Amino acid sequence: MDSEVKYLLSLRAIRERAKIVADAAQAGKLNHFDLHEDRMNQVADFVSSVIKSDYGPDKYDTIPPHGRWQHFEVGNVPRVSNLMEDWKKSGCDNLETTRRLIDLFFVSVLLDAGAGDHWRYVEPGTDREYKRSEGIAVASLYMFNSLDFAAEKDAKTPLVDGKGLEQLTIEALAQGFQISDNNPMLGIDSRASLLRGLGKSLLSRPDVFGGQGRPGNLVDYMVNFAGPSSNLDALVFWDVLQTLLIPIWPKDRTSINGHPIGDAWPLSVLQKQTVQSEANASSKSEFIQPFHKLTQWLTYSLMVPFQRVLGMQWINTDSLTALPEYRNGGLFVDFGVLSLKKEALDRGLQASGSELPMFEAGDDVIVEWRAMTLVLIDKLYGMVSSRMDGAQLSMAQLLEAGTWKSGREIAAQRRPETKSSPIVIKSDGTVF
């Protein structure tokens, strides 16, 4: 792997490239958005009020880190805790419990790339109906318990393995998600393909995931790597996940020198800024903005069971960034911090044929929006911190209790019928 590719796969590159976009925004040189920084105080006030309403004045330390665990508990049903209790009764120790949670979280996160405004999931045996991320979480949990992701369908314990994922059909996924003509989900084909690719990639790394290609074997790898220190390194974890996941993303994604680089996209404002600052810049990689959103979402999610079940701590977590997805990004559009320039707005409205502009996931408008989402959440982090009466929140806590929830709440206020993002992304089921 050459140095350019290695850099673009790193966490460091995400913020460093976004900093160039931030400089362009300050100079009024974004291509598709106007920046209205004077409205950031409104956003900070709103996000702070949401956090305080849920956790103030003395429960800030109970804010969970942003991760998949909470989605499984939708409706105040402790599904994960109930599972763990059942496993414990059958003699499951903490290591195996953590392996099973990693199995479950792994597939659930990779399936969670935006379900659209119309899909719903009715929990079996109940009349409880869920949608979006929480609906996907609950559906994936039932599929996990039914051994839909395992090769041996009559196994006595739930798990995920490489052969089971390789054999996953669109029909099985559609059935598990209750998909029909009346209950459509975006990108179901892409999701099935993604998990089949994951199965193949897991089986190619027996040094980490064992001969079964089981995601949960990552627990043993990380615990052994930590050694006597018991400190788990987020950067080591990141490299393992990137090596595993890069081969599974769609083949039409960006590549450098023949190497795919995942959720990283050409961005015209980077090209403009780089050419201005480096007259001889000629490498295509200079114009790429990486995000690696799903891999980061997975990293945040998988870190939690290590902490809660094994009591282990992570180092280098500040290398992780905000997640540039439609809830976090929509927050700044709904408050008017970012507004689409007329040309982009008109093009988006023409594409959607509705009141909200729509763009493909790889459109330069969306890539610029995502980059600015990273920039603005980093700025917002300090602004919210100053409003928290001395409480110190991690980025993972800000994402969980603050920006993501606030983005959802303001969307519900502005668009109560659909609760959709103010800018619609035509998702392929693997980005958002």
| The pLDDT of residue 321 is above 70 | yes
- The predicted structure's pLDDT at residue 431: 59
Quick check: is 71 in a domain?
A: yes
Summarize pLDDT for 165-205 with one digit per residue, the tens. 999 999 999 999 999 999 998 888 889 999 999 999 999 99
Summarize pLDDT for 258-317 with one digit per residue, the tens. 888 999 999 999 997 765 555 444 567 889 999 999 899 999 999 999 999 999 999 999
Quick check: is 267 in a domain?
A: no
Under 8 Å CB-to-CB from 335, ≥6 apart: which residues?
Answer: 39, 42, 43, 46, 410
**In a 10 Å sphere around its CB, with 0-12 CB exposed, 13-18 middle and 19+ buried, how is residue 385 labelled?**
middle
| Structural domain that includes position 80 | 67-261+294-311
Summarize pLDDT for 4-29 with one digit per residue, the tens. 999 999 999 999 999 999 999 999 99
The span from the CA of 130 to the CA of 177, in Å, is 11
Quick check: is 47 in a domain?
A: no
Is residue 174 a contact partner of residue 115, using CB atoms and an 8 Å limit?
no
Instruction: Work out the mean pLDDT of the chain and round it to a whole number.
Output: 92
Quick check: is 127 in a domain?
A: yes
Is residue 337 a contact partner of residue 36, using CB atoms and an 8 Å limit?
yes
Quick check: is 231 in a domain?
A: yes
Q: Which residue has the tokens 């942003």?
A: 66
- The predicted structure's pLDDT at residue 50: 97
Residue range 382-397: mean pLDDT, rounded: 93
Summarize pLDDT for 33-62 with one digit per residue, the tens. 999 999 999 999 999 999 999 998 889 999
DSSP string, 99-125: HHHHHHHHHHHHH-S---SS--EEPTT
Point out the least confidently predicted range of 193-197, 247-251, 260-264, 422-426: 247-251
Summarize pLDDT for 141-164 with one digit per residue, the tens. 999 999 999 999 888 889 999 999
The span from the CA of 386 to the CA of 375, in Å, is 18
- The predicted structure's pLDDT at residue 21: 97
Point out the least confidently predicted range of 8-17, 68-77, 308-317, 418-427: 418-427
Q: How many CB atoms lie within 10 A of CB 73?
A: 17
Point out the least confidently predicted range of 30-34, 60-64, 83-87, 202-206: 60-64
Number of domains present in the structure of the chain = 1
How far out from the chain centre does Cα 18 lie?
18
As a whole-number percent, the residues of the chain with pLDDT over 70 amount to 95
Sign of CA dihedral 122, 134, 184, 116: positive
- Per-position b or e across 226-247, b if 16+ CB within 10 A of its CB: beeeeebbbbebbebbbebbbe
Reported residue count of the chain is: 432
The span from the CA of 241 to the CA of 297, in Å, is 11
| The pLDDT of residue 115 is above 80 | no
First-last CA distance in the chain: 27
Strand pairing report for 313-315 and 231-233: parallel
The span from the CA of 40 to the CA of 22, in Å, is 15
**In a 10 Å sphere around its CB, with 0-12 CB exposed, 13-18 middle and 19+ buried, how is residue 163 labelled?**
middle
Coil/strand/helix, residue 230: coil
- The predicted structure's pLDDT at residue 277: 53
- The predicted structure's pLDDT at residue 389: 87
Residue 32: DSSP 8-state: S
Q: Which residues lie across from 233 on neighbouring strands?
A: 315
Q: Which residue has the higher pLDDT, 30 or 389?
A: 30
DSSP string, 357-416: -EEETTSHHHHHHHHHHHHHHHHHHHHHHTTSTT----HHHIIIIIIHHHHHHHHHHH-T
- Is the whole-model pTM more than 0.75? yes
The span from the CA of 87 to the CA of 96, in Å, is 9
